[in-house]
Structure 1
């Protein structure tokens, strides 16, 4: 028994020794934060809403229906319609106005009149930006212009980057009746332009109810297509189309709401989806997105992400997933690789009042941002309508808590519109009736931005390690909200960068350092933007050896070699102990 006890003590000692060796070798890794999940704003983060700005400060009447777009330089473009009498010599009717924000000099441009050829009421503009940063604006207009007659039609205008406006064009040339007041516009990555609207004109077999129509501009051919009927199965009223387009596949994705009793939808308003392919001029099968709902559904919005997946949000009165009998917001995602829809999710989980006019955008990391207006008395919002906002984290497939955007308002705030820039910052415009900054109690256009410091970059392990004197290559994760990165180096572990000067500042996600002396070198990365600096990245080290090793262990680091040596030593000790015990036991037996 004594020999067995000694044997197990020796084995335990060997295991403890091996454990300590391994722990010592990987100690620097113990301090690495490997959480690559981007930190985005919520109640406990460094992201925030900027101060509000009144964009329609020259308006003395009603400013409505704002829309927003952001170009490749992160300049912001906003349009709305305004019935201020003779604003910019526009006459006494409602007209379309445009303003832009220059991100470099951080100022808003003077107001511009878009509907300069119109002689009657102009309403509900939409806006898009192409890859050349040209601005495309469409709207509905009652003017008898270019043979449009006095019914409401779709008008269009373009502003070249840095410059002038084209003359107004009439898009709904086949329409002979008054189209629905709201339309949609989209520009794909090939600069093809798509405009869709709802129209009661009986063309292409549409009958006399409102149907969804499309026209697109082929940028290569420099010509407009003929009109295409999208809602071919609809026999009731189809309204408010929304579109996105994939230039690679040629698919144009549509959502709208429709009162047609088809696919089991019944005669209440329901949300429908389908695709039209620009290359083959073919329509996909019709999809009913809210098959669970037996009450009215309205106002769908659609967004396209970096994987070409489709995100849809809409307002629905259905009491689904315990959402209650008030109108709530629902969300669904189409995975285009498998052509399958995910489960329906309730977005407005904190709301106790009807939610209205949702909008949705997706950033390059797949974060989904949603805004709407709501009279729920939530987070100090009061019982007036306010702008609510939340986002969906793709790494955990969960929604954030709701935030109130229009916190300064004690009056009606409504019709939010969102856009996201290349840094992942979210811009929001909405209609505000609070007398903010002496703007009066008439409806005005309000703007603010959701932004903050970058999330933590993740520094990759340095390869090879050990390395020889010369160049050492560093690589780290790209942070969407970062403008630049600071590289830090030391010969001891970097616990803090306080008081340190960076080795280099770069806009790249890689850096090559030159080391001329042997030893251990430690590196860390910080991400910077105009709002501040991220927390320190994980720390990685490299051993610089005197000369390049050759042979079996060339590719192994010092820690890996020590671990292997420890394992071999431990096994040797265990074998020796067992051999000794067996030999000793045999000798004792022979003596007896």
Structure 2
């Protein structure tokens, strides 16, 4: 009997030791067996400088118009609002059937095109003429005032029946359109001949002076009877005297462009037939450091003008000028010089370097063009990257119509990135492209981008078969997201739920999640497991090792893939489940031992008997 008691005590002691010492070891076992790692996969931020961008889908600016809308001009204010003016024969909002100047702006807050007074503002209301108003140019000052200049043949303010230059501005303080002196200001006062092709720039360095150049056939101030380039300025003293820019020309001067540098120095380029003695038109430059009262060539002095299109023996026309932050001069123009043996017009570029006062060689930037390329415009962003747009008849899509082309010079690499087509959705001739640099309206970014408008007769979005004004802009792809962590939210014996978190890029409106069982360096052959508009995603998996990447998306396309995170998932029972399982096992073992003990004890007792 004593032996049986000792055996029973031993069994109890084993149970107590197991419960006190061994069982806590199991109950302290982690509930999740998980590991995640950063894979050594390099990601690259994509931006405009890399040329990895897309173009926003074409949209119609002139959707109020019922007649031809032509010859647009564009500018962008410091808030990123986009301002557009053009000529139009639509009899809307009080306009007659003659050509008038219309205006709309894209409000970056609302994303809606509208006028200041009406859905579309008619600017040339006081100057309606027998034929009409044409070829506007537009600029915006640091105070938000919008300035528009154009030419027309009305006899307003005693201007006569010839074409003259007129001006109006929108006062951001009063909310009204008016001139500085009259309801509309006559700029080409005293001219009895044809005045046309105005261009405008605001000298914000001195406080918002208005600077206008134009072509005029009037022989004022001793100029010849041919067309010349003239200049006039508005400042705190009112409209100043009219000064001739194209002095030394004894033949036709045309299509001027004007710009200003950060010190208020003015630059004018134009096409001229009569300075260098050649029989073709060439491109010339003059500069004014005196607010337009006197003009000269670029240093070193005593140059009175600069011949830009040197060695060009074809028609050089439609110049455009821009100045970078170092006051270097950049000029583009269309040229018929047969540089490649194809007998087509191309886009030429040349730069004047302020640091050494030297002109660069001429560069053809439309070198992929196989047909007519013309009417270029050049703009430069705050980082001194250069953008050029133009119209081109190169047959890139099997159609022989004009399209809007673009080339970009990367300041970091010092290279031109090559031509690209902007008007890919166009179904007809796209022409008269103009561009402006301004803040991108994409949510969450203050980056500058390129805004482009042009006219064409494509019937897109139901705008009709007449000519309309179209708009597009460079839009950046999303940058690579940064995968931060992958955490297990819950687990069962058959599956685990994971939460995946990453940093969001405001340029992306959707994120795609990719999962694989090996390292991910490309998504070309993968299908996303899901998508999210938020910077996190929940995924359900079984035990195993998984690799994840995230890709941002917007209406341009998808950006580069994120860094790759890997996670190892293994199911381990929860603490309370361990306790009950171990308890069941212990009790079962004890019962088996007890039953076995008593079985053999009884068997031995029977044998003894």
| Corresponding residue number in structure 1 for 2:176 | 164
Q: Which has the larger radius of gyration?
A: 2
Looking at structure 1, the residues matched to 202 and 561 of structure 2 have their Cα atoms a distance apart, in angstroms, of 39
CA-CA distance at 1:231 after TM superposition: 0.7
Equivalence for 1:355: 373
Match of 1:585 in 2: none
Aligned equivalents of 2:557, 2:202: Cα separation in 1: 34
Q: Partners of 1:40 and 1:152 in 2: how far apart?
A: 44
> Structure 1: how far apart are the matches of 2:50 and 2:456?
24
Q: Is the 8 A contact 1:125 1:139 kept in 2?
A: yes
What's the CA shift for 1:324?
3.7
Pair 1:366-2:384 in alignment: yes
State the Cα RMSD in Å.
Answer: 3.4
Matched, 1:187 2:202: yes
Q: Which residue pairs with 1:275 in the alignment?
A: 287
Shift of 1:96: 0.6
The residue number in structure 1 matching 2:120 is 111
2:577 corresponds to which residue?
Answer: none
* Structure 2 unmatched runs, 5+: 1-37, 297-302, 440-446, 482-505, 509-519, 522-530, 536-550, 564-609
Provide the residue aligned with 2:107 in structure 1. 102
Q: Shift of the alpha carbon at 1:456?
A: 8.3
Contact 1:174 1:227 in 2 (8 A): no
Distance in 2 (alpha carbons) for counterparts of 1:66 and 1:420: 16
- Relative contact order higher in (CA < 8 Å, ≥ 6 apart): 2
| Aligned mates of 1:41, 1:56 — CA distance in 2 | 33
Matching residue within 433, 437, 451 for 2:461:
437
CA contact (8 A) 1:360 1:418 kept: yes
What is the SS of the residue equivalent to 1:149? coil
Q: Structure 1: where are the runs of 5+ without partners?
A: 1-27, 458-480, 484-494, 503-525, 539-592
Structure 1's 39 and 66: CA in aligned 2 closer, same or farther, altered over 3 A? closer
1:76-225 residue pairs with structure 2 within 5 A? Answer: 76-84=82-90, 86-109=91-114, 110-120=119-129, 121-161=132-172, 163-166=175-178, 167-179=183-195, 181-190=196-205, 191-218=208-235, 221-225=236-240
Kept in 2, the 8 Å contact 1:90–1:113? The answer is yes
Within 2, Cα distance between the matches of 1:411 and 1:106? Answer: 27
Query: Do the aligned partners of 1:41 and 1:48 also contact (CA within 8 Å) in 2?
Result: no
Pair 1:294 & 2:306 matched: no
**TM-score, normalization: structure 2?**
0.67
Structure 1 residue 282, shift from structure 2 partner: 3.0
Answer whether contact 1:255 1:300 (CA < 8 A) is retained: yes
**1:396 to partner: Cα distance:** 2.4
Task: Show the counterpart of 2:273.
Answer: 259
SS of residue paired to 1:282: coil
Are residue 49 (structure 1) and residue 68 (structure 2) matched?
A: no
> Among 346, 350, 354, which residue is 1:332 paired with?
350
Distance 2:395 2:554 in 1: 35
Q: Which residues of 2 match residues 441-460 of structure 1 at below 5 A?
A: 441-453=465-477
* Structure 2 residue aligned with 1:511: none
**Which structure 2 residues correspond to residues 189-588 of structure 1 after superposition, within 5 A?**
189-190=204-205, 191-218=208-235, 221-248=236-263, 250-262=264-276, 266-278=278-290, 281-284=293-296, 285=303, 286-320=305-339, 322=340, 324-378=342-396, 380=397, 382-422=399-439, 423-453=447-477
Deviations 1:482-526 (A, max 9, x none): 99xxxxxxxxxxx99x99x99xxxxxxxxxxxxxxxxxxxxxxx9
| In 2: Cα distance, 1:344 partner to 1:414 partner | 25
Measure how far apart 1:232 and its partner are: 0.7
Distance 1:176 1:441, change over 3 A: same
Contact 1:261–1:267 (Cα < 8 Å) also in 2? no
Q: What is the rounded CA distance, in whole Å, between the counterparts of 2:436 and 2:329 in structure 1?
A: 16
Number of corresponding residues: 445
Q: 1:400 to 1:382 in 2, by over 3 A?
A: farther
- TM-score, normalised by the number of residues in structure 1: 0.69
1:36 shift after superposition:
9.1
